[in-house]
Structure 1
């Protein structure tokens, strides 16, 4: 689409009547004519405007036209403005040669030929308009190119995100299949073994003193599957921002004791022990089920990666917040992995060698703590154990009505 370019013309002459006559000749739609009665006045206008053409009288008092041209050629802003000199002197004074040396594009002699003036001015105005239109087109093309580059970068970023999502989905399905297969295979083999014993009449395997151990093994495998399914459901809810918390008064110290008691058998199976240091009571307003989930995840991880060494949990009051700390003496975590382990499906290379898992526990824990307006962090180095800490305000802020994340 063609653009309309307004051309500014500068005429310089010390005689007002010459300025009026010249302006009358060159005035036309789309042109603005500026008059200057001296070279000094012309310089002031040149600093303010971009001109398509300057028509300059040679013989002026003070600074003459040639000197003005020399100044124009020495300034970046004005050096490209075409100059037409006008002179009433005879041709024998060789002003034309001096004018071209000063950078003029043409030279006119008085009395002026109106047709020649109009033609020459029209040529330079057309050139200026074409140059401006070309510059506009180049700027438009450059802007379009930049926008195209930005679009390509966005598409590449989106493609990388999609590829990452596909990899995460494939890894997730692979991990889920592996994690669920282990307890299912155990239960299946146990069932087959019991069926074989029954078929052969070996009822001593089902003696009353053996049943508690048998039931405990089954329950442990079932709990593992339930935990995996719950984790997957929680991740789905988190992706839909549908994981809400229902707060009520909770005694965190009592809850911590209950969680530790529930994990006694798991600790024994790992060859470890759990010690708890907590006040008699520590009351706050939290979602009891979700905070229990946080404590369980932290202790389970400590037992899993603690190398069979004792695990310590502390619960204490610090100002207007509760602080929970879980310390193990296991494989530890490199500082560069401290942030990454709280992302979904993220596990360190060392942790993968020690125990199976989906890499969801700490991700879910982090989200639950955030929903309580709290903070979770880790202090650890490779091979030196780890200390996870959780800070929970005693009274979480109430979420805005449209979030639905926190309700009292």
Structure 2
């Protein structure tokens, strides 16, 4: 063995005995050498090629490690950082530039992190104990302040939320009126000349119908807020009462959901309604309950589901509504329908008489971002929202609180199940009674169909063309402004947020 080989062997032995992990990369940042301690710290198998070593870095730090090594290769200035690996070990990563690549070390600092975590936990525990002791002294004062602030907040939030859709309503109605006025003027000037509907006219009328749908959706939004505010006021005064009427359960559920058909279509959200086998087994058709309050609860949940599902990628946008019934109450305070009994005949026998008490279970599952653990305890409180809702939409924070109170008044409950990042499932159950079928009604003969006019008008194109970037996160306002600019002779590009706008500014000329 020559001297070079001996020295190489000695260096390898020293490297393997070193308590610090050592590694080396080539000029492209690819790992070419690691010592024994590096494998012990990172849990990367020594028998595996080093090409995939970055995957053993914790996902939260992979990008940072890659940026550090890339920067050192480019600038020649060394750097360091503390990172976590997939095996939950913490290390200090030190990287330096050498002639043909990088050389670096990883030093295990897990003990220090564990100590710091324990110290922080102890400090938090002491702080929590101190806060608990102080909370009792503050409770009476906080309750008085809360009552005063609640009244002020109710006025402020209600004013803001009712005012929010007004801009879209005014703009939509203005553009529809302008188009209709132009069409009427053209018809008056045409005299006896017959009109043939042009493609431009049909497209314009379809857009006007969309604008009218937008006005309708904004009106529904204001109605929901007004209903929640009115219900809250009556709850505070203890004057909210439940009025039972007979109605068909399944058709009523579908009717309530159909109100959102245009919004679902506009936001490209798939809807699935599942009527459980229990409804058929129990032969439930008509029930007796407060139809208006049932609709108010389901409307609030559907509105939230649409709002958050709209944040998901288009291919994942899906809402599922399930309906079940049972003569048995929910178990363990969870709004989950009991499983069907083996002998379904006995179940049907229990609910065959009119006026029998049953429990109606409804779930609404969305494909949104889900709820963070800290949000689960807050969302059913007055003026409280999940962090996703507050960050993305604002809102009054009344809907779920009012829904919870209505469920309680109707002998039921409401809850939520959610894993953050996997959507949310809101569930509620209500006490209802079975109802008799009404006597058949005589159907009057159908009225003759109305004759529809077929006007035609195509607006002349603008002579001056400008290219405009529209940045607007409200899809209704975005659509209205886009139509207005196009009718004025502009060409447009749409962006739903600042990031999209910046990307389009870089790629396109305006």
The TM-score normalised by the length of structure 2 is 0.43
Alignment deviations for residues 83-139 of structure 1 (CA, whole Å, 9 cap, x no partner): xxxxxxxxxxxxxxxxxxxxxxxxxxxxxxxxxxxxxxxxxxxxxxxxxxxxxxxxx
Larger radius of gyration: 1
Change in CA separation of 1:160 and 1:191 when aligned onto 2, cut-off 3 Å: same
CA distance in 2, matches of 1:170, 1:214: 34
- Conservation of the 8 A alpha-carbon contact between 2:375 and 2:387: no
Residues 19-68 of structure 1: per-residue CA shift (max 9 Å, x gap): xxxxxxxxxxxxxxxxxxxxxxxxxxxxxxxxxxxxxxxxxxxxxxxxxx
Greater CA drift, 338-347 or 184-193: 184-193
- SS of 1:174's equivalent in the other structure is helix
1:57-68 equivalent positions in 2, closer than 5 A: none
Alpha carbons of 1:323 and 1:200: their partners in 2 closer, same or farther (altered >3 Å)?
closer
Match of 2:455 in 1: none
Q: Please state how far the C-alpha of 1:383 moved relative to its aligned partner.
A: 1.5
Rounded Cα–Cα distance in structure 2 between residues aligned with 1:230 and 1:252:
22
Secondary structure of 1:341's counterpart equals coil
Q: Does 1:385 align with 2:423?
A: yes
Q: CA deviation at 1:376?
A: 1.0
| 1:145-294 mapped onto 2 (5 Å cutoff) | 156-190=138-172, 211-278=208-275, 279=279, 281-294=284-297
Distance, in Å, in 1 between the alignment partners of 2:143 and 2:426 is 30
Match in the other structure for 2:376: 338
1:9-408 to 2 correspondences below 5 Å? 156-190=138-172, 211-278=208-275, 279=279, 281-306=284-309, 307-308=311-312, 309-320=317-328, 321-395=359-433
Q: Distance in 1 between matches of 2:398 and 2:427?
A: 18
Q: Secondary structure of 2:232's match? A: helix
- Structure 1 counterpart SS, 2:215: helix
Gap change, CA 1:163 and 1:266, over 3 Å in 2:
same
Q: Which segment drifts farther, 166-175 or 191-200? A: 191-200
- The aligned residue for residue 93 of structure 1 is none
CA RMSD of aligned residues (A): 3.1
| 1:126-173 CA distance string (max 9 Å, x none) | xxxxxxxxxxxxxxxxxxxxxxxxxx9998533222333344444434
1:240 to partner: Cα distance: 0.6
Distance 1:162 1:297 in 2: 29
Q: Do the aligned partners of residues 393 and 334 (structure 1) sit closer, same or farther apart at CA in structure 2, a change above 3 Å counting?
A: same
Q: What residue ranges of structure 2 are gaps of 5+ in the alignment?
A: 1-133, 187-200, 329-358, 435-510
Matched residue, 1:99: none
Q: Distance in 1 between matches of 2:365 and 2:428?
A: 12
Q: C-alpha distance in 2, partners of 1:153/1:334?
A: 25
Which whole-Å CA distance do the structure 1 matches of 2:174 and 2:360 have between them? Answer: 49
Partner of 2:341: none
Matched-pair contact (CA < 8 Å) for 1:197–1:203: no
2:224/2:300 contact within 8 Å kept = no
Number of equivalenced pairs: 245
